Structures are given as structure tokens and as C-alpha cells.
Amino acid sequence: MRIIVAEDEPAIRTLLSRAIRRHGASVAECDTVAGAIEAACQPFDAAVIDANLADGSGLDAAAWIAGINPTARIVICSGFPISPAELGLAPRVSASFLQKPFRIEQLIEVLGLAPLAKP
């Protein structure tokens, strides 16, 4: 499974990417809308996108990405609440929303990744 992580805060992007990798997925990291769209030119299964990226709206990136791969899981993250209408983006786009701060376990569940085995 390949997951795009588009987050403009380096520490958060690194934390999310490491957690996803621990659960067996590969990650394409980026910090802009343009980077997310470029990453989506390679096969991918899901995208975790900050709602506000340095060069524009993560919601716009989500719409582009969903157009490239309509079956991909899209997760929008933000420190601000986002209404279901804003998440609709377009009739064909289905996105989940996680408000920051969230637990990594919540993200792993939304992405459909297997939980780590307990020792």
C-alpha cells in the first residue's frame, strides 16, 4: 500500500509518515498541493492531506487526487473544524476528516491499516 502524506509542518509530516511505515505501507511525503498532485502521478492507495498547505488548499489537492484515483481513501486533517459539506468536495469524492490533534491509532484505523501486534 502506498500513501501520500501532504503536510506542511515538518514534524507532523515526519510523525505521520513514520507511523504509517511502521504499519507496513510506503509513504510519499510532500508539503504542498503541487507536491501532492505530483505524488499522485505514481500509483497510490490513500492520501492524508492537511487542509491548509503552503501553496493552497488541501481540499483542492484532495479533489485532484480523487480525480486521479477515485477509489483512494482520502483523509483531510486540520486544526480547524471542517463541515461535511466542505468535505464533499465533489459528488465523486469521499473523504474522512480528522481534527488535530488526533491519535495515530485513529489515522491508522481510517486508512484501513492493520494494527501493530501487541507484545
With respect to residue 117, please indicate whether it lies within any of the assigned structural domains. no
- Rounded Cα gap, residues 83 and 44, in angstroms: 26
pLDDT digits (tens, 9 = 90+) for 57-97: 998 899 899 889 989 999 999 999 887 677 665 555 678 88
With respect to residue 29, please indicate whether it lies within any of the assigned structural domains. yes
- Rounded Cα gap, residues 106 and 85, in angstroms: 22
With respect to residue 116, please indicate whether it lies within any of the assigned structural domains. no
How many distinct structural domains can be found in the chain? Answer: 1
pTM strictly above 0.85: yes
With respect to residue 118, please indicate whether it lies within any of the assigned structural domains. no
With respect to residue 88, please indicate whether it lies within any of the assigned structural domains. yes
Band (111; pLDDT cuts 50, 70, 90): very high
Q: Is 103 left (phi over 0), alpha (psi -120 to 50) or beta?
A: beta
With respect to residue 83, please indicate whether it lies within any of the assigned structural domains. yes
What is the CATH classification number for the domain harbouring 63? 3.40.50.2300
Which domain does 75 fall in, by range?
2-111
